[in-house]
Amino acid sequence: MTESVAVTTIDSPVGPLLLAATSRGLLQVHFQWEDVDDSRRWIEDHIGPLDGEPGWLGAPVAQLREYFAGDRRRFDLALDRRLSSGFRKEAQDAMAMIPYGQVMSYAEVAATAGRPRAVRAVGSACATNPLPLVIPCHRVVRSDGSMGGFAGGVKTKEALLALERSHLG
Where in the sequence numbering do the catalytic residues fall?
A: 137
- Tell me the C-alpha distance between 89 and 53, whole Å: 26
Backbone angles phi, psi at 25, to 5 degrees: 150, -170
User: How far from 37 is each of 32, 41, 63, 116, 141, CA to CA, in Å?
Assistant: 11, 6, 25, 37, 30
Cα torsion angle, 153, 149, 111, 129, sign: positive
Backbone angles phi, psi at 127, to 5 degrees: -65, -30
* Burial class for 4, CB neighbours closer than 10 Å (0-12, 13-18, 19+): middle
* Element housing 22 (H / E): strand 17-22
